[in-house]
Copies of this chain bind each other. A is one copy, B any other.
Amino acid sequence: MRPLIAILCLLPAVVLAQSNPAALAARQWRQQHERAIVQELMTLLAIPNVTSDRENVQRNATSIMQMMERRGIATKLVSVAGANPLVFGELRTPGAARTLVFYAHYDGQPVEPTEWATPPFEPVLRNRAIENGGAIVPVAAAGGTIDPESRLYARSAADDKAPIVALMAALDAIRAAGLNIQSNIKFVFEGEEEAGSANLEKMLAANKDLVAGDLWLVCDGPLYQTRQQSIIFGARGIATFDLTVYGPRAELHSGHYGNWAPNPALSLARLLSSMKDPVSDRVLVEGFYDQVEPLTALEKKAIADAPAIDATLMDEFWLGSTDGRPHTLNELITQPSLNIRGMASARVGSTATNIIPASATATLDVRLVKKMTVQRTLDVLRAHLRKQGFFVVDADPGADVRRAHPRVAKLALLRGAEAARTSMDLPISRTVIRTVESVRGKTVSLPTMGGQLPLDAIERATGARTIVIPMGNHDNHQHSSNENLRIQNLWDGIELMAALLTMELK
């Protein structure tokens, strides 16, 4: 979870000459207000935001509403029963025909405080990354400057409170410079993204007019590993399963019954092995790839144009091989994947005992690509289990079922969300690429990210297009301990948001 590309981290911050007028205004404003901007982010980071901590999540929502109201943005909390609210904000632009929606999320992943160098909700600035010996430094005095290679440590510093503060600072800069905004602007800040956006689609659908827009810019995720700005036009979907197979009713003595009582760990091992080809690493589940929408020529070209990162990543991750060769990581994440998240049967190592386990479980995730559905993926997996000789159930089987069938497997769908991918050659897409490149130079455009974002839920509920604009450093320890935001990424993000807020959609 820590893609710290050692070599790349040594690159100095490259500050581009700025030609986009809004971005230039943002740079000037930021240079005069570094301390205030960082302080506004630190104040927000000091409010605990683990998705399940509803009381504190509500405090975050209130705080974000106040940040917007201080800037004259009309705000509203949108929710349904049992959900953390969406914080909605709107700036109408008289005469504008188009509406741009900026999305970010203000909730964060669970924290394990003992694994953090400093408490996750007591933000601190360090002069560099902890793994490079970073020490805590004071935030500059008012009017002072902050080392752009310093980093802000706190849960959600990068994922995903930084874009919220960057948007606010960009808006301040635009106004201070007297620049015009061309579109209606809406802000939707979600409070449940880290728990799978379970209520997002429902909340959007119930407030269709309020959240209507032409394009959602989803400000989430890290930049490309070379620190180049990226634009991502889609996200894979996901379907998560628990798969359990059964041995004897209770654990049996492996001496008394070994060779005779079927071992469920071996049975699971065989079943998992049957799912992927050991040479091509392709999924062998029949029909798995049937719905996949192929990449367009433009999408293939974009992938080919992205800087090569595989060798550097292999060093970083201590890998002696990769799957799916000769294809690269960027190619492979445009394909569906079947991954074992975890596997468990009885106990191992010093806690292992002399037994034949009673059951064995694997948790799987399938990453879906555009046009694949969760339901059909479940169907083809079930059919695969049957082909392997298993009687398939969806709840724990009793004695009757287990006595009647030589092999029984339980397959339970835990969660499903479908993929989305916006065409890179739509006029709206080209405008975004042009705007981003005017601020950040040559960018890395990719048809999809490998991970999941609620793009599909947004598109289905609102009919809008979605494009992902990342801001955080790739080495931000997202979802892990010691999450951090490199300050230069915040500065760059403010300039980028200023340009996007002021761009004209044709």
Evaluate contact between B270 and A320: CB separation under 8 angstroms: no
Which chain A residues in 159-209 approach chain B with CB under 8 Å? Answer: none
Evaluate contact between A255 and B450: CB separation under 8 angstroms: yes
Given contacts A238-B255, A260-B328, A349-B363, 13 further A-B contacts (CB under 8 A): A242-B348, A247-B319, A255-B452, A256-B451, A257-B333, A258-B337, A259-B337, A259-B339, A269-B343, A273-B273, A341-B347, A343-B348, A352-B363
Evaluate contact between B256 and A321: CB separation under 8 angstroms: no
Evaluate contact between B346 and A345: CB separation under 8 angstroms: no
Evaluate contact between A273 and B276: CB separation under 8 angstroms: no
Judge whether A272 is part of the interface by a CB distance below 8 angstroms.
Answer: yes
Evaluate contact between A1 and B270: CB separation under 8 angstroms: no
Q: A272-B269, A342-B352, A354-B341 are in contact. Are A479 and B253 (CB under 8 A)?
A: yes
A413 to chain B, nearest CB (A): 13
Task: Give the number of times this chain occurs in the complex, counting copies.
Answer: 2
B contact residues around A329 at 8 Å (CB): 257, 260
Bits for A360-388, please: 1 = Cβ < 8 Å to B, else 0.
Answer: 11110101000000000000000000000
Of all A-B residue pairs in the complex, the 10 with the closest CB atoms, nearest first, are A255-B451, A321-B406, A342-B346, A258-B337, A352-B363, A265-B340, A259-B332, A269-B269, A248-B317, A259-B337
Judge whether A278 is part of the interface by a CB distance below 8 angstroms.
Answer: yes
Complex Cα gap A114–B177 (Å): 71
B contact residues around A348 at 8 Å (CB): 242, 341-344, 361-363
Complex Cα gap A320–B449 (Å): 44
B contact residues around A504 at 8 Å (CB): none
Complex Cα gap A320–B248 (Å): 9
A446 to chain B, nearest CB (A): 12
B contact residues around A252 at 8 Å (CB): 1, 3, 317
Evaluate contact between A258 and B365: CB separation under 8 angstroms: yes
Evaluate contact between B342 and A254: CB separation under 8 angstroms: no
Partner among B253, B322, B351, B402 whose Cβ is within 8 Å of the Cβ of A451: B253
Complex Cα gap A418–B160 (Å): 59
Judge whether A262 is part of the interface by a CB distance below 8 angstroms.
Answer: yes
Evaluate contact between A319 and B403: CB separation under 8 angstroms: yes
Judge whether A445 is part of the interface by a CB distance below 8 angstroms.
Answer: no
Bits for A120-147, please: 1 = Cβ < 8 Å to B, else 0.
Answer: 0000000000000000000000000000
Evaluate contact between A249 and B321: CB separation under 8 angstroms: no
B contact residues around A314 at 8 Å (CB): 403
Complex Cα gap A352–B281 (Å): 23
B contact residues around A105 at 8 Å (CB): none
A contact patch SS: mixed
Question: How many chain A residues touch the partner (CB < 8 A)?
Answer: 90
Judge whether A463 is part of the interface by a CB distance below 8 angstroms.
Answer: no
B contact residues around A321 at 8 Å (CB): 262, 406-407
B contact residues around A1 at 8 Å (CB): 250-253, 355
Evaluate contact between B265 and A343: CB separation under 8 angstroms: yes
B contact residues around A77 at 8 Å (CB): none
B contact residues around A408 at 8 Å (CB): 320
Partner among B344, B357, B402 whose Cβ is within 8 Å of the Cβ of A320: B402
B contact residues around A451 at 8 Å (CB): 253, 255-256, 354
Evaluate contact between B261 and A266: CB separation under 8 angstroms: no
Q: A272-B265, A343-B348, A354-B365 are in contact. Are A250 and B2 (CB under 8 A)?
A: yes
A-B contact pairs, 25 of them (CB 8 A): A1-B252, A246-B318, A252-B317, A254-B365, A255-B333, A255-B452, A256-B449, A258-B339, A259-B323, A260-B322, A260-B323, A260-B333, A261-B319, A262-B321, A262-B322, A265-B340, A266-B340, A319-B403, A320-B404, A320-B407, A340-B357, A343-B343, A343-B346, A343-B357, A344-B347
A230 to chain B, nearest CB (A): 12
Judge whether A305 is part of the interface by a CB distance below 8 angstroms.
Answer: no
Complex Cα gap A403–B312 (Å): 12
Evaluate contact between A333 and B256: CB separation under 8 angstroms: yes
Q: Chain B: which residue is nearest A328 at the CB level?
A: B260
Evaluate contact between A249 and B317: CB separation under 8 angstroms: yes
Judge whether A353 is part of the interface by a CB distance below 8 angstroms.
Answer: yes
Partner among B319, B337, B353, B365 whose Cβ is within 8 Å of the Cβ of A262: B319
A7 to chain B, nearest CB (A): 15
B contact residues around A69 at 8 Å (CB): none
Bits for A1-36, please: 1 = Cβ < 8 Å to B, else 0.
Answer: 111000000000000000000000000000000000
Judge whether A42 is part of the interface by a CB distance below 8 angstroms.
Answer: no
B contact residues around A258 at 8 Å (CB): 333, 337, 339, 365, 367, 450
Q: A255-B238, A363-B348 are in contact. Are A341 and B353 (CB under 8 A)?
A: yes
Bits for A210-249, please: 1 = Cβ < 8 Å to B, else 0.
Answer: 0000000000000000000000000010101010001111
Complex Cα gap A402–B328 (Å): 20
